[in-house]
Chain A
Amino acid sequence: MTPAPTAPDGLGTLAGKAFAAYRDGERERLSELVDLVTPVLWNAARSQGANPATCEDAVQTAFLQLVDRAESINEPAAVLGWLVVVVKREVWRLARGARREIGVEEVPEAPTQSLGPEAQAVLSERQSVLWKHVSTLSPRCQELLRVIAFADRPDYAAIAESLGMPVGSIGPTRGRCLQKLRTTLGTDPGWAAT
């Protein structure tokens, strides 16, 4: 007998279950899906550098598209990744003024993550130290780490893939982005001390 898995379900699994139940007629489970995945989608949208209003529209549009196409989605379990792909594409489409539809492969890379002066002012001392180190990473790594930070460990690989990162970028192994963050934090006495 293989022991029953004890690890709790990751966000992606919970989202997949809620979406599958919704498709099977439990219409109220859609609210649960919205509550579960909106933080990840918001951060996926904001990490593209678009303004808040554009990001809100992109997240909302992704859910409306999901419901429109619910029956044609092949893998309900992979709904989180599907939504991340659509949100990222929508942000870029809206940011370009919706001049044309663009395919996933045409989505440009995310810019360096930025926080406005007001946002930086509300950071704790430790968060400021972390922000300083995160800022030294490549834009791709910043985007990846920002988005997976809002998911659970079992979801990292799938989310990395939906962001267009190569397989093996993260999960189950640490990957280069997380390794770089670890290394740069490790060199900072101010980080280790607290």
Chain B
Amino acid sequence: MNSHKDAIDDLDMAALRQLRELFAHADPVPSDLTERIKFELTVQALHAEVAELMDSALLATRGTKVEPTPTESVTFNAASVSLMVTVNASDLEGRVRVDGYVTTPGATVEAVSTDGSTLVDTDANGRFVLDDLPHGPIHFVIRVDPDDENARPVITPTIQV
């Protein structure tokens, strides 16, 4: 006989494991929930302005040449700045290249991916290149005036590259 005053044993643990599998299977955590929570936490931590994703159209490939990866161009708009990024396959095997343009030259752009965060300065024309990013979710944090610590950064929604 066993009673409710006994210590939890292996049979109980097995039943709980099965119960966990049951609910994980029948009512799973939405797959992007943790990413969305992390994004909201970042927005809150940075007191950031969230840019709006304007369009996400596949650019037509020129002529009959078939590219291994479709080129996708995305524009983000915020009150103070806009960011356009074009996503391509990188020359580095299995990596992603992002060519970007920010409407405010001299801004810094931080790309936050599953690898962590990569910071890049834009040139005098507002252009930047990141050629060693992983596939997967990525978002950008733009600082129009990197020297002003009180300025609100702009954060983009997460996109898949």
Residues of A participating in the B interface, judged by any CB pair closer than 8 Å: 27, 30-31, 34-35, 38-39, 42-43, 46, 52, 56, 59-60, 63-64, 67-68, 115, 119-120, 122-124, 126-127, 130-131, 134, 145-146, 148-150, 153, 156, 170-176, 178-179, 181-182, 185
Contacts and interface: CB of A to CB of B under 8 A. Distances in A.
Contacts of A27: 45
Interface of B: 2-9, 11-13, 15-27, 29-30, 33-34, 36-38, 40-41, 44-45
A175 B4 contact: yes
Given A173-B7, A175-B4, A179-B4, A126 B40 contact: no
Given A30-B41, A59-B33, A146 B4 contact: no
SS of A interface (majority): helix
A18 B40 CA distance: 19
B12 A146 contact: no
A56 B12 contact: no
B21 A182 contact: no
23 contacts: A27-B45, A34-B41, A39-B24, A60-B40, A67-B45, A115-B26, A119-B26, A122-B25, A130-B18, A134-B22, A146-B19, A149-B16, A149-B19, A150-B24, A153-B8, A156-B8, A170-B8, A174-B3, A174-B7, A176-B4, A178-B12, A179-B3, A182-B11
